[in-house]
Each structure stands twice: as C-alpha cells, then as structure tokens.
Amino acid sequence: MKPAIEGGKPVREEFLVFGKPDIREEDIAEVADTLRSGWIGHGPKTERFEQMFAEYTGAKNAIAVNSCTAALYLSLGMLDLGPEDEVITSPLTYPSTANVILHHGAKVVFADVEEGSGNIDPVNIEKKITVRTKAVMPVHLHGFPCDMDEILDLAEYSSLAVIGDAAHAIETRYKNRHVGILGDAACFSFYATKNVTSADGGMITTDRDDWAERFKLLRMHGITRTAWSRFREKGFKFYDTVAPGYKLNLTDLQSAMAIHQMERIEDSWKRRTEIWHAYDEAFSSMQGIKIPPEPEDGRHARHLYPVRLELERLSITRDEFLEALKAEGIGAGIHFISLHLHSFYKNTFGFKPDDFPVAARISERTLSLPLSPALTDQDVDDVIEAVEKLLTYYAR
C-alpha cells in the first residue's frame, strides 16, 4: 500500500497529536474551584500536591517548583560548584540536564550510555570520575530506571552527590524502591506531555531535611514567609530576606490540575501498560523495528514508547520515517538527539559523534510513538497500522 507521503491514502484523517494529555472534567473543575477561591498563587493546593507526591514516592520531602529545570538547578546549587568542578551525566537527554551544570559555572562531563536502555552506563561513569568530580546526574530515560545500586556505590566510594533527573520517571521504581528516594535528590517534570501534568512544573524529592528547607527558601526569593503564610491568617506578618533567592515556585492554579491526576496515577499507568503491550505484540513480529526493553528488576514509568528502526533493513532514514508517519496522521517524537551532536555542545567542547558512539547510534534510530491514557483502542490500532504500512513499503 502506497504511503500518504507518496500520494497514497493516509491511515487517519484526524491527526493524532503526540503527547496528548489526559485532562478530565474533575481536573477542570479543580482548576475552576481555584479560580473562584481568590487564591491562585502558591498556597494550599500546592501544599496538598506536595504531600500527595511525597506519599507516592515515599520521600520525606517534596518541594514543588515551576519546572524540572528549576528543580535540577536548585539541587545542583547545594554543591557550591565552581569552574574547577565537574558533574557527570548522560548525553542522551534533554538539554536542560546539561545546561544547568553550565549555569552553575561547572564543567559537563558526559558518560556514554547502555545499548539496551539508553541509560548512563555505570562502567563509563567510573571511567570519567576525577578529583574534580562533584556529582553524578543519572537520567531515567523514557521512564526506565538506571542501575542505581552501581551508581550509588560509585558515588559513596568517591564522595559524590547523586541528583536524579527523573523527568520521565514519576512511576519508576528500581528494585521496589521509588527513584525519588535514591540519592541526595530527584527531580521530576509536570510538563504538558508528562504522565502527570500541571501544564508545566517540577518537583524535588529528598530525604535531606536541610536541603528541603533550603529549596523552600530559594524558590521564593529567599524570604522567610511565602505570600500564603503571610496572608492566610489575620493580619499581615513581616518577612525577612535571608538569601538571594529566585522566583521558581509552582502556583495553586497549576497544582489544581495535577491533584486528581495523582489520585488516578496507577490507573493511568495501567492503561499505558495495556497500550505498551499492544505495541509490543504487534511490532515484535515486524521486520525493521526493535521494541523497547523492560527492566529486569524494577518498574518502567511507561512515559515514552521508544522504538529503534533497523535502518539497514529500510530504504529511508529515521527522520524520513517520522515525516511519513506524520503524513499518515500519526504524531511522533524523538527522545533524544544526543547532546554531543547539538551545535552548542559540539562547537563549544569539540565533541565528535564517535566520542559517545552508543548515544550517537541510538540518536540516529530512535523515535517515540504515542502513549497516553487518552488514546482510544482505535488510536492504538491506527498507530500500529501506520507503522506496519511504512515498514512494509520501505523494506529493503
């Protein structure tokens, strides 16, 4: 059957948006209630969201901020980084992971990733540790847990902090432990496409009470009282500025959107798992595509369903395949193009593609298919049909 991009009939007339959020009437009603309450900034609903998230992860503290980038930035800020310091992380991630290291004036050190999961390889981390290394930032790519025992052992031996980039990993567990309690801090995202969304937002989980108090202070200008604590009781209460903080708080308007998503988080995960298994069953017998791996001892968050194209079996590139899917009415994404291939990092640090060959190879072949509780069974069938159509037509 001829693909739509070649003049054939598309699988779908209505475009299937990639990363469609699962927003329901109860979420809308909670936002409306916040608007009617007269309090839309940081306040009681954000505190409720923090409590729910702490209970879900098992962390002592959960501190809401306005993005995962802010969460990573504040967490690294606890390390007093300078120009001589290094932080090791994965090149196969979103730019914010590495950008925040540079914003603190430190040096980004990439360690190549594992072939299967795409997560940072502890063997390569060990090779990159020097006397200047201050921290490791593992990225739980797509929601697949990193090998945290190995990473934590390396960090303990070398006296390094461990700050997890858990942007994809709200439901991720490693050996029955939530990734939010592994290391000094973990940072989560509630961006529009995430498994729980507040349109944008982030959370830091930590069992370190001193860090938690510092985060709360710095996210709100470094003052001793938030607006909610100043005005919720009778009479104005004075505040003091005790540190040069930032404006990084999450608002009640945003938190309201996420509260009921937290209540149904496990049901949503189960629906994404159903879709995941439907994809696995369909694609495992197709030539030209590899399905994503499952953790041997842990739980995948099912945030993204990344497939790898076997380009040697196809007559088109990954990017051309993505465009062909689009023409069929199916949205898809790329997660990610390794940072050492991006212009800024390549030009600034002189990286070459083969400096991190596994990350480069994965970058060239991977694309993410739609995965959301908002998908209908027909949506899922359409994705499968479109992928099979293209694999068959463009087979070598």
- Output the pLDDT for position 235: 58
Angstrom distance (rounded) from CA 389 to CA 5: 12
Residue with tokens 């800024």: 344
- Output the pLDDT for position 224: 85
Structurally, the chain folds into a number of domains equal to 2
Kindly report the pTM of this predicted structure.
Answer: 0.97
Q: In this predicted structure, which of 82-86, 215-219, 226-230, 343-347 has the lowest mean pLDDT?
A: 226-230
Q: Which of 259, 285, 303 is nearest to 142 (CA)?
A: 303
Three-state helix/strand/coil letters over 201-230: CEEEEECCHHHHHHHHHHCECCECCCHHHH
Please indicate whether residue 194 is annotated as part of the active site: yes
Residue 219 contacts residue 65 (beta carbons within 8 Å): yes
- Output the pLDDT for position 239: 87
| One domain for residues 127 and 44 | yes
CATH number at residue 279: 3.90.1150.10
Q: How confident is the model at residue 238 (pLDDT cuts 50, 70, 90)?
A: confident
Of 263, 286, 315, at which residue does a domain stop? 263
- Output the pLDDT for position 232: 60
Phi, psi values for residue 337, rounded to 5°: -85, 120
Instruction: Return the percentage of the chain with pLDDT > 90, whole number.
Output: 95
Query: Which residues neighbour 159 within 8 Å (Cβ) at sequence distance 6 or greater?
Result: none
| One domain for residues 58 and 182 | yes
CATH number at residue 73: 3.40.640.10
Of 209, 241, 263, at which residue does a domain stop? 263
- Crossing angle, helix 68-77 and helix 95-103, to 10 degrees? 40
| One domain for residues 216 and 84 | yes
Mean pLDDT of 181-195: 98
Judge whether residue 231 has pLDDT over 60: no
Buried/exposed code over 163-174 (b: 16+ C-beta within 10 A; e: otherwise): bbbbbbbbbbbb
| One domain for residues 214 and 305 | no
Residue with tokens 């962390």: 59
| One domain for residues 269 and 258 | no
List pLDDT tens digits, range 13-25: 999 999 989 999 9
| One domain for residues 247 and 270 | no
Q: In this predicted structure, which of 157-171, 220-234, 342-356 has the lowest mean pLDDT?
A: 220-234
Angstrom distance (rounded) from CA 126 to CA 124: 5
Mean pLDDT of 196-221: 98
Mean pLDDT of 260-286: 98
Query: Which residues neighbour 246 within 8 Å (Cβ) at sequence distance 6 or greater?
Result: 70, 74, 218, 219, 221, 222
| One domain for residues 273 and 386 | yes
pLDDT averaged over every residue in the chain = 96
- Output the pLDDT for position 161: 98
Helix (H, G, I), strand (E, B) or coil at 139: strand
| One domain for residues 42 and 168 | yes
| One domain for residues 184 and 311 | no
Residue 145 contacts residue 298 (beta carbons within 8 Å): yes
Q: Where in the sequence is the domain holding 128, given as residue range(s)?
A: 25-263
Mean pLDDT of 306-311: 98
| One domain for residues 239 and 111 | yes
Catalytic residue among 194, 216, 326, 389: 194
List pLDDT tens digits, range 41-68: 999 999 999 999 999 999 999 999 999 9
Angle at alpha carbon of residue 212, lines to 206 and 214, rounded to 5°: 140
Question: Cα 73 to chain center, whole Å?
Answer: 15
- Output the pLDDT for position 145: 98
| One domain for residues 217 and 313 | no
Mean pLDDT of 261-275: 98
Mean pLDDT of 105-120: 98
| One domain for residues 201 and 69 | yes
